[in-house]
Structure 1
Amino acid sequence: ALLDLGSSINLMPLALAEKYNVGKITISSKMGLLLANKSMINAHGMIEDVLMKVKDLAFPVDFVIVDIDLAGERDIILGRPFLATSHACINMKRGELTIEMNEEKRTLQVYGKSTNHCYKVEIREKDLEKAQLNSEWMEERLEEEELPASRGQSYEESTEGTDVIETYNPDE
């Protein structure tokens, strides 16, 4: 699973939900999802209260089901709802995730401990200028580039009459 602080939902591909028979899609929806790359996909529906077992703790999780292929070891995305339910605490320095249920805590090693220590950061003016030029170049390209329409529809057409869940962008 991929833990994503930027995701406002928990996401599971339809194929995975069917493979493991995790429950019946009880809520059909015309919900549109705006992905980080600004493309739109439509949700297939929702499955509520799927029990996610982490070590020996089980958490009820509501999943939005989408008909996409997330091939790889991280087939589901656990967003802020799961992280809040599990009282997740992430220690970046130690590479640990601590979860809690009924005052029982479990700690998971999510990546190797950091051995790189940084005591001084030096930014040279020419590096800063280069970064600003790259940023300006990227902004120009993004303004020029028209995003592909979802299934032959414009963004406005594809979101008409649907609820749109946008991913969290910390820069906004």
Structure 2
Amino acid sequence: MIRETIITSCSPQGVVHIAPMGVHVLDDELLIMPFRPSTTLDNVLASRAAVINYTDDVRIFAGCLSGRRDWPLIQAERVPGQRLAETLAHAELELLRWEEDELRPKLYCRVVHEANHAPFRGFNRAQYAVLEAAILVSRLHMLPWDKIESELAYLRIGLDKTAGAKELEAWGWLMDMIEDFKHANPDKAVRT
């Protein structure tokens, strides 16, 4: 199983990095597999720690992709680093071991502390649409343009039916990124 989360990690200089990332749930470990190059990878290898933040504010996912990384943070309790201040729950991780890979190294971690801060009331279809669109945006350089367009058209249905202000704001950030990508890569954005 993969959970879509926000990972906070800290550099040796104390700079916090916030990144959306799918985390694989294994029996008694969590597996983080960042694509290279990755600030999260560098930070976790240096500090041997990370924090997984569970949030229903999809603006954070879209914001991280679109350069909006200034989200309120507070100190983690048992690992070096910080967590999102407005997260529903968080898990503080310790790196147990890692496996090198040219594309996606594997970081095996264990939870050393976790806490719930607010109830999770579920995602509406617009939140799901933003999460899926964020994943598409993170892979614009890898996917064919017709797939991107068809997926976005389908996701737009749920967004139009159930979105609130936060979801619309996040969607707008992602659509701006897609437009910027299309202008910077006109050959890729041509319909086939």
The alignment's TM-score, normalised by the length of structure 2, stands at 0.25
- Larger fraction in helix: 2
The alignment's TM-score, normalised by the length of structure 1, stands at 0.27
Rg larger in structure: 1
